[in-house]
Structure 1
Amino acid sequence: MSDSDFSTCDLFDADEQLQSLSLQLQNLGGKKKFTGPIRTIRCHRDNGLVKSTLNTPGAGHVLVVDGEGSLESALMGDMIAEAAIANDWAGVVINGAIRDRAALAQLNLGVKALGSNPRKSAKAGHGVFDIDIEFGGVNFRPGATLWSDEDGILVTNS
C-alpha cells in the first residue's frame, strides 16, 4: 500500500485488532501520510543513536523513537530529517521533541512528535536500538507495520 491510498479510519474499521495510539502527536513533517515497517530506539535527551540510524538505509521503514515524553531537548532537527529522506526512511515518530519545525514542515518526510524545543540534545549515542517499546497504549515492535495520517497512528499486533 502506498503512502497516499489509505485512511487509518478505514483500516481500523476493517480490522479492529489494530493498535491505535491514544497519545496525541502533532504532524510536523511535510508528508502527512506515511506507512512502513517499524524500527525502534529508546533514548533520553540524546539523539546520537537517532542520527546514526537515520544516516543508514531505511528501505521505507518508520523509525519510532521513545524519548520518554521529554520536551526538554530535541531528538531530531532538519539536518537529521534530510539524512532520513536521502536514506529512504518513510517517517519518524517521536515520543518527545523535534526542532526546526518550519524547515521540517517543508520536507517530504512523515514526522510526528509531541512538540518542539530549540534546545539541542546530547550526542553521546546513549540508547537502545530495535527493542519493543510502549507508549500511548501501543506496543511498537520492530518489524510490525505502522500507518500514520491526520487522524492518528495504527500499528499491527505482530
Structure 2
Amino acid sequence: MLIIPNYVTLSKFHMINTYWALIVPWIASFFSVFALRQSFMSVPDTIYYSAKIDGSSDWRFLWHILVPMSRSSIVAITMLQVIGSWNSFMWPLIVTNSDSLRTLPVGLQAFMTESGIEYPQLMAATTFVILPMALLYLFLQKYIIAGISRSGLKG
C-alpha cells in the first residue's frame, strides 16, 4: 500500500539509488506516532502545570521534562524502526539499482540459485545478518520492554 507512493515521492526528490532512499521511509510510522503519543499522554497533567508555574515554556517542558520521562518509549520505538528497516527486503530491492547499496537481507538472495539453495552458506550468512540486531536488543532490552509495556498506561 505504501510502496508506490513512497517510491514516487523519493523519485521526485531524486533519492532513488541513494542511502537516503533506504533511510527516509523508516523515520516515522503510524505505530511510532501512536506509541509516542500514548507515552506522552501517560504523563500526569500536574507535572505540566508545575512546570508552567515554575516559568517553563512548552518547548522547554517538552525537551527537559517530557522527553527524558519517555526515554524508554523512545528507545523502544527507535529499536523497532531500526529492526524493521534492517530486515526489510522488498524496499531496498526496489529503490536501489547497484549492489553496493543493497542491504544484507537482499544479499542473502545470492545463496539461492537456479540449481538450488546452498543451505550451509545461507544459514551461516543469516547468522551474521541477525547477530547485530540480536546484540543491540540485548543491550537495550530493559528500555524496549519498559517502553512497550508503559505506552498506553495513565500514571
TM, length-normalised to structure 2: 0.22
TM, length-normalised to structure 1: 0.21
More helix by share: 2
More strand by share: 1
